[in-house]
Structure 1
């Protein structure tokens, strides 16, 4: 009889745990870094922290590419800069960015983790809604989708992945499209990937 009572009490104690676990694994999954998670590193070898600002600099630091920066898209009528560009040469400093991660369980940014990218600007009150990177509409004339900035939505999801050729990183959309450059504009392309490293912006 005592054994039966103990088992009954044990079952009652386990019910809240089972319900709690089921809720967060099936309906609201938590994005926790796993033991296999690989942190994204900056140019000094330190882990990239979403609380800090970084410049996305060209991996080779050579004559064929430079920093990523924010500017007006060609033909744009937006009240604020709304396009993602890359300088054609090393020298000019790019616009700082921050990574927005879906997890609040640590400061790290991880390879192959779903993130948003946000330009860090001074006039947030006026142009704060033109800072989140996103994939723009398909340009039928250029036959490509350029990256633009705006408010967060389903087209503003990206992943940082290791470059198969260089020591730095590449960027893909969350559905696997490669982000690269077409001229000095950042776009979804099949080649000319956006090879880059993160350079921390010092205060």
Structure 2
């Protein structure tokens, strides 16, 4: 499935489109914007305890093929990582294989660069910098949006836990803690102040 087909399929899903209609037009001007919206929607549905609809959204997202453009692949990858959290047995191998395919796609120089970034992620370097950015967030909504980005990254680390250079338990505990904070926020405040709804 390509990006255009995915967007059309979601727009024809009555349940999902009811959420998409809440997203301001400014946040879905381009296909790339739409992909980031759909990824974030997958997480918000999951964190709102609407796992069945989140699963439906994810199942659509993971059908999108990697075409060499990381800007479109990133939201697909992030949704696929959430799929592992929901059903590790079903998704772990296929998602890891697809991420590794994307990492190894391209000429030797670009593959070397992507591999280097991947290895740095596994040291916890990127996680530390994301947590530093979180501490600088000016308000609670900004904090929650940044926490969502941290959750994407933590799930990436979990998917490659056999290669981690930091403590696996630390990663798993951070995932549970981040999910709990986001769920509590959504339970109390709803999701309409969060990206992409604001």
Tell me the TM-score range normalised by the shorter chain: under 0.3
Structure (1/2) with the larger helix percentage: 2
Q: TM-score, normalised by structure 1?
A: 0.26
Q: TM-score, normalised by structure 2?
A: 0.27
Structure (1/2) with the larger strand percentage: 1
